[in-house]
Amino acid sequence: SQTIHQWPATLVQPVGSPLSLECTVEGTSNPNLYWYRQAAGRGLQLLFYSVGIGQISSEVPQNLSASRPQDRQFILSSKKLLLSDSGFYLCAWSVGGADQPQHFGDGTRLSIL
Amino acid sequence: QKEVEQNSGPLSVPEGAIASLNCTYSDRGSQSFFWYRQYSGKSPELIMFIYSNGDKEDGRFTAQLNKASQYVSLLIRDSQPSDSATYLCAVNDRGAGSYQLTFGKGTKLSVIP
């Protein structure tokens, strides 16, 4: 069965510091991968998705970037964090077409000081 | 701007009763509909998905879709205290080939023992 690993679970970072969050999926090949952010009092917002190695689509322009160096690895990065980057970051996967269900990892709770 | 609307609640039901959670969406071209359960501090967990008009049942859960009214609902029979969580409705527009799910802000359900 498929599993998704996301780390770290919590992270406290100062404003202006860099960020790297990693997500890996096991048990499937060529998954679609997603990064979402859930801010307090707001709905889940899609940040990036990828349908293959090196293919990244950005849904929201911001100071974040994503990369997919391997088939089952998805990385979310920032060179300089802002206070507004605080939130709950979730990685998700799906297989097949755009209409297939997405499954979430455990998430990373990011606090910016 | 695609929108997914849910009553934020809280919706309180007694243990053993039927909980009815509702969701409306603005994009008439939407083709795929998902219900996620999110416990406080945790990531969303897929409960049900539905593509066709009518009802789809899985255990104590029934998803209902009415595309003409742009309305999707989730019924939880024999509600248990462990069902207390926030329920997120998500919609995907398959027609545009978009991998983006638009999420509602969720309805908080409280099942009273």
SS (H, E, C) chain B: CCCEECCCCCEEEECCCCEEEEEEECCCCCCEEEEEEECCCCCCEEEEEECCCEEEEECCEEEEEECCCCEEEEEECCCCHHHCEEEEEEEECHHHCCCCEEECCCEEEEEEC
Q: Is the minimum CB–CB distance between A1 and chain B shorter than 8 Å?
A: no
The answer to whether residue A105 neighbours chain B at the CB level (below 8 Å) is yes
Per-residue confidence in pLDDT tens, chain B, 113 aa = 678 999 988 999 999 999 999 999 998 888 899 999 999 999 999 999 999 999 999 999 999 999 999 999 999 999 999 999 999 999 987 555 678 889 999 999 999 99
The answer, for B87 touching chain A at a CB cutoff of 8 Å, is no
Question: Considering only A10-24, A56-70, B24-38, B73-87, which range has the smallest mean pLDDT?
Answer: A56-70
Distance CA B87, CA B107 (A): 5
**Is pLDDT of A89 > 80?**
yes
Picking from A83, A100, A101, A103, the residue whose alpha carbon sits closest to that of residue A36 is A103
Which residues of B fall within a CB distance of 8 Å from A57? Answer: 99
pLDDT score at B96: 56
Q: Does any CB of chain A come closer than 8 Å to the CB of residue B101?
A: yes
CA distance A56 to A40: 26
Compare all CA atoms of chain A with the CA of B99 and give the residue at the minimum distance: A98
